[in-house]
Structure 1
């Protein structure tokens, strides 16, 4: 099943979808009960509705169904095609598909930012919102090193710590532009 770029981008910026995907990615396979126990801020009805949408969209697959009393409990895993979509575009060196993926990424980000900016209760300083661009000089190897360090820094913040008061889901987006030839 081909997964649309729009569906992929929606998973990245939708807080509930991204929490579910991160939980399943971390554990490998999960039941809805497993997800609820680690992401207790997602209402049960929302979780089941979102799981169904993720399966319908080809993001998740059902890898097992276990009979628990009178109920069938589904076990979910990430679909390989979802995990490999970016890698496939890169391996094929498909500039057009890469640009479409980037364009959708920007559109979804802009929509999220617009939703925030239109809220009547906006407080840019208190909400710790911002954006910046910083030119750096680096080789390809140095960029990989920077990316690995960045992953290491943000890893502890990719799952919710329920013991930390005021911790809210945010979207941290990064863009690495191709080398400037000028």
Structure 2
């Protein structure tokens, strides 16, 4: 199964998004963070991600007759090759995109339901910009964003006050032609 096929499934995408920015997570912690996903479904999809190399089992501990696994995300496998033929299926891409949006909406809902959310103080929010750029200019801008975030994503020690943050981008060429 290609990385695209692994990641475009709504449940697997939510698992990966939940693991992003965490060094490790146990299956029990994952289940607590995804309470709407039935346990059997969650474990089946975690197994698929492990088999596909997107998630690694870094420890196993027996607990009351079962084995609890500690998982780590292989961040190199979370990136999708834009030339993957699985991306030729618009319905699969649409389903993956909607799952991504749904997961972000859930994360934002949880934030808004937290004690005393404050978008300004917490540096939270959502924005949409429109601009005109050549493909080369946009590639340069994307690379600059990536270069700025890599040190934060790859560090192993976190300073006091650091907290896990989600940052998502969507880039779509906007067709300004009006339908007639």
TM-score with structure 2 setting the length: 0.62
1:137 Cα deviation from its structure 2 partner: 0.5
Unpaired runs of at least 5, structure 1: 21-38, 63-73
Whole-angstrom CA distance in 1 between matches of 2:56 and 2:75:
6
Contact 1:89 1:98 survives alignment (8 Å): no
Equivalence for 1:120: 115
Pairwise CA distance, 1:85: 5.0
Shift in Å, 1:121: 2.4
The answer on 1:56 being equivalent to 2:30 is: no
Which of 9, 12, 24 is equivalent to 1:7?
12
Q: 1:156 matched to which residue of 2?
A: 151
CA RMSD in angstroms comes to 3.6
Q: TM-score, normalised by structure 1?
A: 0.62
Q: CA deviation at 1:163?
A: 5.3
Kindly report structure 1 stretches of 4+ aligned residues shifted beyond 6 Å. Answer: 74-77
Q: Give matches, 1:66-145, under 5 Å.
A: 78=74, 83=78, 87=82, 92-145=87-140
Unaligned runs of 5+ in 2: 31-41, 58-69
1:157–1:61 distance in 2 versus 1, CA, 3 Å: closer
